[in-house]
Amino acid sequence: MQNDQALAHALLLRRRAMAMTGRYLEDFAVAQTFGSGRLRVDKERIKTFAAEFDPQPFHLDEAAARDSIFGGLAASGWHTAALTMRLLVESELKPAGGIVGAGFDEFRWPRPVRPGDELRVESEVLEVRPSKSRPDQGLIKVRTTTLNQNGEPVQVSVGNLVVLRRPAHQTASEI
């Protein structure tokens, strides 16, 4: 019983430390999944984002969007990508050193994001490997799926993140 309490306490301390320092390469494993909070996509923000970064009629104006390939106002894919990043940063993924993308093996938008959609993110670790050239770093391959309120994917990416290795003097029990 005392052991259980000690273990629970240690896990609590570790969770707190993890929230501050993040996960090292050694803390990631294939098949881990991480959820996220939710973000609602605002119609006016769709238009102002597009006016700054993707000024095309189907992202700016309802009437023009109806006659376009999207059949109605749709968020810029880059707006969806940026919102996905926000959800990912605030998710439980939390690599030590931050979320630093080295590039993507796959990246697509299977369906449009509409005003009022509520997005969330699911990420899954596909691969964990130490760097050959940088002994203090490694890479994890992560599939990130952005889903709308109907559970339909609106963005799917498979990306490689740079993750720090745990410093040699520090063991899991110390953090």
Please state, in angstroms and rounded to a whole number, the distance separating the CA atoms of residues 114 and 159: 25
Please state, in angstroms and rounded to a whole number, the distance separating the CA atoms of residues 153 and 120: 10
Judged by CB under 8 A, the chain residues 63 through 102 that form the site for a copy of itself are: 68-69, 76-78, 81-83, 85-86, 89, 97-102
Residue 38 engages a copy of itself in binding (rule: CB under 8 A): no
Least distance CB 12 / a copy of itself (angstroms): 25
Q: Quickly count helices (H) and strands (E) in the chain.
A: 5, 6
Please state, in angstroms and rounded to a whole number, the distance separating the CA atoms of residues 146 and 36: 10
Write down the residue that tokens 């490997």 correspond to: 129
Write down the residue that tokens 């745990």 correspond to: 166
Least distance CB 145 / a copy of itself (angstroms): 14
Among 41, 121, 125, 162, the residue binding a copy of itself under the rule CB under 8 A is 162
Provide the binding-site residues for a copy of itself, judged by CB under 8 A.
49, 52-58, 68-69, 76-78, 81-83, 85-86, 89, 97-104, 106-109, 162
